[in-house]
Structure 1
Amino acid sequence: MIVDSSAVLLPGPWRHQFVPANAARFHVALAGPDDRDTPLIVLLHGFPQFWWAWRHQLESLADAGYRVAAMDLRGTGASDKPPHGYDVPTLSRDVAGLIRSLGADRAVVVGQGLGGAVAWSMPALHPDVTRAVAAISAPHPLHLNAGLRRTMRPAAARRLAFFQLPYLPERAMTRSDLVARVLHEWGAPGWLDEETLATYRAAARVPFAAHSAMEQMRWMVRSTPRLDGRRYLAALRTPAGVPTLQLHGGADRCLPASHAALTGDDVAVAGPEYRFKVIPRAGHFLPEEAPDRVSAILTSWLAEIAPARGTPSGKVLKP
């Protein structure tokens, strides 16, 4: 069954907008003050999701006084689905262009999973528009590349290998149960309800969305030995000059928390204001599995590094 992209424009305490950036058109769900002087928070979803993964944080961060934009990445949801551009450098250019199109000089970029890889890349590739970065369920790309077998659970590594095949993964997303399998396998047991699963299954059936998602996952693996991948990783060795926060689920069954944090000399790439925090009993899809906890931690961190209007700088909210 083919699903029109309008099916992902779900109602809620947000407004939908289409924004031009980097020679494409992107869908964002916006919440909070429509004011350029209010700090902008850009939320980037992971695989196999779309902007709706941030529905809880859209509301909570807007209530805390922030201007919040949950973006459909290139090829996902209601955003454009061009035939190319599914590498992380291009995705990061999309985000930088979106920030400018929304009228902001800089933004705090928060990403989960694949969106977390894009978020980690922003200080190195687009420092001029990056105010701070939070990566959720996403080890730093340099850390992940240096020890993929150690950082990723064997079952998740086999799933990633399957994604590299032509055609079959897309068919499994649109005509079989691959979306359900990934959500069940990577999240903590018991978090996924039927309504949430049905929503993600429908989003995967939007024309070209499954192929675009797979192209993103393929680039993460196939680019490693190529010149474009080596250039990307080399750029990330520049230490981040902005505050960085990394959140990870203690029950993540894709990327175990025990190997997710930067350690030793590697911490330098995350900059001098790096923080790492584990949320117990939560899996890979933290914004949905532990929405209140994630919202509280983000709000507390943002109050320190990018206080909203009317929030005293340095105020720390209890997570």
Structure 2
Amino acid sequence: MLNHKAAVSLLAADGLAISCDLHGMAGNPSLVFTHGFGQTRLAWQASAATLAEHGFLCLCADARGHGASDWHPQGAYSIDQFINDLELVAGFAGPSAVLVGASFGGLVGLLAQARRPGLFRALVLVDITPRWETAGVERILAFMRAHPDGFASLDQAAASIAAYLPHRRETRSPQRLQSLLVQRDDGRYRWHWDPALLERIAENGERHQAALIEAARQIRIPVLLLSGSDSDVVSQATIDEFLDLVPQARHVVVPRATHMVAGDRNDLFTDAVLSFVRTLPQGRN
């Protein structure tokens, strides 16, 4: 089966454009992919292409302030905006979609599903739980804060990523990095996300944990939690708490994977998603 790919732009309630890629054929069961904080829809492209070949329609969205989606002109971001955007994307994907959400994208999915219980028919949460390990999140944020003035060259950016991800055997080539960075008028390369997100969304993220825990309690649909064996963002304690909150959830550990599960072990990640969605009833739960 061929992987048909198309670009789609959706207009959010406040006028911002949300950029998406569609992989697969219309009419197939839908999977909605939401990336982690500071990532883009391209984090999913290998998995989406494979799953499209297996008969799924995969919608990969750039969150506002990320990738090709619009940045808020005043940098005024809120969690409610991300929830509203996800509802918009889910509506475009059609009824009975399954959410695959990594890290921040998974947390937004939990909140959206609790607010609208019919939004998705199942959730796949990728290395995230309502309570997380602060040290692991701080490590990620420290990397995101490390280069406020960007990079002088793509080679410099590649070296920075290689130092951040020393377990990756293959270093990203400067050419591959062009999709993650944007060259500004001063000639320097900066990440493809709005720096205002760090102050408005990432800082003091623990203040949302009570709402996330309550949202998890309200989830009644099938859930798959995928965690990396070497993750420093989730732990056995946070996983056990989540499984107590969502007793119908399944948990699969992806070996030799960090928090970046899909990037570290894309084959195992994709196989786990495929195995899970194939067990779901065809209609809405």
TM-score by length of 2: 0.80
8 Å contact kept, 1:19–1:26:
yes
- Partner of 2:223 in structure 1? 244
8 Å contact kept, 1:107–1:131:
yes
- Aligned pair 1:290/2:265, yes or no? yes
Tell me how far apart the structure 2 counterparts of residues 179 and 217 of structure 1 sit (CA, whole Å). Answer: 25
- Aligned pair 1:272/2:254, yes or no? no
8 Å contact kept, 1:87–1:219:
yes
- Aligned pair 1:281/2:259, yes or no? no
Aligned-pair CA distance for 1:115:
1.8
- Aligned pair 1:45/2:21, yes or no? no
Where do residues 135-214 of structure 1 align in structure 2 (5 Å cutoff)? 135-138=125-128, 140-141=129-130, 143-144=131-132, 148-149=134-135, 152=136, 157-158=138-139, 160=141, 169-172=147-150, 181=160, 184-186=163-165, 188-194=167-173, 198-203=177-182, 212=194
Where do residues 51-70 of structure 1 align in structure 2 (5 Å cutoff)? 51-70=41-60
- Partner of 2:24 in structure 1? 32
Task: Give secondary structure in 1 for the equivalent of 2:274.
Answer: helix
Task: Give secondary structure in 2 for the equivalent of 1:70.
Answer: strand
5+ unaligned residues in a row in structure 1: which ranges? 1-11, 309-319
- Partner of 1:262 in structure 2? 239
TM-score by length of 1: 0.72
Tell me how far apart the structure 1 counterparts of residues 158 and 79 of structure 2 sit (CA, whole Å). Answer: 22
Task: Give secondary structure in 1 for the equivalent of 2:273.
Answer: helix
Tell me how far apart the structure 2 counterparts of residues 180 and 86 of structure 1 sit (CA, whole Å). Answer: 30
Percent identity between matched residues is 21
Q: Which of 89, 103, 113 is the matching residue for 2:103? A: 113
Would you tell me which structure has more helix in proportion to its own residues? 1
- Partner of 1:312 in structure 2? none
8 Å contact kept, 1:28–1:72:
yes
Tell me how far apart the structure 1 counterparts of residues 172 and 96 of structure 2 sit (CA, whole Å). Answer: 36
8 Å contact kept, 1:170–1:211:
no
CA-based RMSD of the aligned residues comes to 3.4
- Residues 63, 162 of structure 1: alpha-carbon distance in 2 compared, 3 angstrom cutoff: closer
5+ unaligned residues in a row in structure 2: which ranges? none
